[in-house]
Structure 1
């Protein structure tokens, strides 16, 4: 009897494997037939399918990973769409064992974010990919859990909180103090990008926790308050931990349903170190209880600390960590990347910088210590044009995604001319190719690849073809905060420096790890103005 069982075991395993494969094949055929019938019932037509180089699309999947690692991921997506036709804006792609759609059509974007937003949400695989770092919060939750997060966080971004410029001024001084000119007025060649990320980290940690980590100027760092049961977190590696942690979740996200294959002890370490920092501030707040009041500013106003406001609505330490960490994550990366790209393009277009500086001096004066009001910043339209054009060309968030929560449609992409609706079955991922959409010549003109802020002076009314902060109910709550910090830095730089010179002759490199930053940094020389007073 034992002998027969030994003989049967391999056979049973093989038989079971054959049955499983047969079941999967049968189920796939049945589901495709159902989808075809449902598409016909809804009056949909198929959209173009990206040709595969092998049975499962593994070659193209590897190509996309290589392109991202070579700092050209967003361009790769645009090139794949163009390879079908410059007139084709929505395609279907087979990757491993699943299908997805990629679109750069504003009408389809409108459907995903607004007009049919109830049919779409972020995907469970994105949630699982990001959760080890960010937990369950406003960027990773769905449905009712997301509504709860949004309701908790949204009131804290009132205009009067994000328009307070004292925060920007303090950390702008720390930034500009790092820039030293020689006797000829010129600085040495320097990379501004790390300075901008440090600035963003310093401002957002003070906004969130009431305590700046002073990445820019560690000597200004005050002693952390004592928290029982906690080792003091390592502030020196915070930026590095964020960057390496984001790299891991970007790779996990690229593998979609196979995200769990991408894991490492390094990723676990980065997550632990970041959590340690945020938990420190959360428990410091909870330990203080009602006595832990917001400090008073010199003019008598209470200093706004977002974590303290959140703690009035929840005392759950994990919820406080997840929500504040999500905002820390977004606030640092969006502002840091945007500032880097602004000066990347200004260095390559000195005539734009000259015009911008002339306008700034006219509206704000030449002194880098002059008073600036929020209303003045918002009234300077050319700064807004420069920022918009930066967002358009570089696409700080070059790719977004939604997943169908039920069988639904997208309004365009099907039929011979792409004007027919297409069927999107439940569970299908839709990638919104923001970078590719913002580089469509039929929308933006034949000079689409040119950095030209003046295009925004031409009465352009934009819709869903330009969504730098997303759109609809999930649009970024911190967009006003990001704009204000960026506006302020631009004004102070223009007041202090009359010229900016590009020192990087290489082509643009799009380093995409959630946000998109320059892969070569922002290599420039700056000339100190003589007319500042």
Structure 2
């Protein structure tokens, strides 16, 4: 005799479906009553093309793969109305909200930050690569990570420009001009990612991987019980691993469906390298502490500072790997976009170069100070405009940790608060927010650094996030980017775009880089 007949199975399935439907109805009624109690208005709902929003989900994935994902968000919201800046979206079996409203961004990141945190699904999507650290932890665990890492990003540490000078020199040495002063058509983007990787590995571990110039790479120190890691594919492993966690994140609660042996391999190789540095520090003891530079100054190594606070090898790996991940990708993408736009805006490049020569001199070996970089406001305006137009981080997210509200988006004119139930994901569309003509003007799609003159910005411009979870490395990234800009302007007097005409390609895999790279030729200034 069968214990479960087909009829019994069918009745069980029907009972489960009925329970889910009734639970959903009860929850919707509860949410409606709570929204009314809090004085919330209804949020516009993105029209569905099918029952579960599967078509919409597929469209967003296709847009990302076609390198236009951030634009897709703008188009979908604009199609509902130019004055609609917060919407509710049904995806598979859950709802989320998307907002390009600065006041809602303020609530998520700052004024109501106790009501929001990163989501558990993001944590689980990223954990295989980054472990539990400052980018993936929540609550008290995150506070612990922040307390470990934050003291290392003092002005004193990020204002030491010897590091930037050495690796900028390796970068510019890769650019060779012919007899007529012009370089061949070249792709700058890989050089910028190598620069960022070389810089951040030395800052974190005291050892540059010299992706730009492998011949300059020192022999790796011996670590007992470990095979030597593979440095040659570090950049590729980062790129591929990052694409996997981006795809996993796009599936949200269904992230576990996206996995592969390739992803596992990328994670293992990256962990092997970072574990090497960690064990080198732990096994070396006092010999690895505070090495001196040629001028007698102490060399800052972030891992050494972390090791003064914890000797847990997994904690040291996770925290330093998070910073390696962010430092390489964000800075590399930012530099690429800077020169992408300079090559397409001759007026801006000429004005920038004139100011650089006035303030720093024309010699690419002249001394540059941190104070000089801070004082050159037009460099800051150029960088800000790059962040605005290209949005290196085009999307951020928070999840409600309790029933709460967002201050705007509800009612007929969007001026009422909207109800956000516990567990609801909110996507803060920074690219879309930075492309609102009502905030930035009718020339919102144009690259105009002058728009930043005298401008005081709030939550309409948050390229590094905001509030307690804002990026700790933003000043470090800004400093090294400014340094490279100065050295390029000193050495080259012209830059020409060599890419075929076409729409901008937004290659979005956590950070947003130029999908077509940075194809240019440069003219060396006469000496």
TM-score greater than 0.5 by the shorter chain: yes
- 1:16 to partner: Cα distance: 1.3
User: Which residue of the other structure, out of 464, 475, 478, is the alignment partner of 2:470?
Assistant: 475
Matches within 5 A, 1:117-136: 117-136=113-132
Q: Which residue of structure 1 lines up, in the alignment, with residue 488 of structure 2?
A: 493
Once residues 227 and 483 of structure 2 are traced to their aligned partners in structure 1, the CA distance between those partners, rounded to angstroms, is 36
| Aligned-partner Cα distance in 2 for 1:445–1:38 | 38
Q: 2:49 aligns with which of 38, 50, 53?
A: 53
Deviation (angstroms), 1:17? 1.1
Shift of the alpha carbon at 1:40?
A: 0.3
How many residues were matched structurally? 526
Pick the aligned partner of 1:226 from 218, 222, 227: 222
Summarize deviations over 1:482-502 as a string: whole Å, max 9, x none: 000000000000000000000
Q: 1:72 aligns with which of 50, 62, 68?
A: 68
Alpha-carbon distance in 2 for matches of 1:399, 1:31: 29
- For residues 331-480 of structure 1, what are the structure 2 equivalents within 5 Å? 331-457=327-453, 459-480=454-475
Match of 2:505 in 1: 509
1:33-432 correspondence to structure 2 within 5 Å? 33-432=29-428
Q: Distance in 2 between matches of 1:470 and 1:107?
A: 14
1:113-172 deviation per Cα after TM superposition (whole angstroms, max 9, x unaligned): 010000000000000000000000000000000000000000000110011000000000
- Aligned partners of 1:141, 1:477: CA distance in 2, in Å? 15
What's 1:484 paired with?
479
Alignment partners' CA distance in 1, 2:132 and 2:427: 22
Structure 1: runs of 5 or more not aligned: none
Cα deviations by residue, 1:99-126 (Å, 9 ceiling, x for unpaired): 0000000000000001000000000000
| SS class of match (2:517) | coil
Deviation at 1:293, TM superposition (A): 1.8
1:286-329 per-residue CA deviation (whole Å, 9 max, x = no partner) reads 11123322210122111000000000000000000000000000
Tell me, in whole angstroms, the C-alpha distance in 2 between the residues paired with 1:90 and 1:233. Answer: 47
Structure 2 counterpart SS, 1:250? helix
2:426 is paired with a residue of what secondary structure?
strand
Specify the SS of the correspondent of 2:503.
coil
Once residues 420 and 169 of structure 1 are traced to their aligned partners in structure 2, the CA distance between those partners, rounded to angstroms, is 52
For residues 289 and 361 of structure 1, what CA distance do their matches in structure 2 show?
Answer: 46
Distance 1:77 1:229 in 2: 49
Deviations 1:14-66 (A, max 9, x none): 22111111111111010000000000000001110000000000001000000
Q: CA deviation at 1:10?
A: 2.1
SS of equivalent to 2:494 = strand
The CA distance in 1 between the partners of 2:82 and 2:268, in whole Å, is 45
Q: Secondary structure at the match of 1:289?
A: helix
Q: What do the CA deviations read for 1:244-301 (whole angstroms, capped 9, x no partner)?
A: 0000000000000000000000000000000000000001101112332221012211
CA apart distance, 1:79: 0.7
User: TM-score, normalising length from structure 1?
Assistant: 0.98
Q: Secondary structure at the match of 2:371?
A: helix
Work out the CA distance in 2 between the residues paired with 1:390 and 1:412. Answer: 28
Query: Aligned partners of 2:74, 2:318: CA distance in 1, in Å?
Result: 34
Q: CA deviation at 1:229?
A: 1.1
Among candidates 23, 26, 29, match of residue 25 of structure 2: 29
Q: Matched residue of 2:343: which SS?
A: helix
* Cα deviation digits, residues 71-110 of structure 1 (max 9, x gap): 0000001111101011100000000000000000000000
The answer for the alignment partner of 2:6 in structure 1 is 10
Deviation for aligned residue 1:9: 2.8
CA-to-aligned-CA distance 1:315-354 (integer Å, 9 cap, x gap): 0000000000000000001100000000000000011000
State the alpha-carbon separation in 2 of the partners of residues 51 and 254 from structure 1: 20
The alignment's TM-score, normalised by the length of structure 2, stands at 0.99
Q: Distance in 2 between matches of 1:46 and 1:72?
A: 30
CA distance in 2, matches of 1:226, 1:362: 48
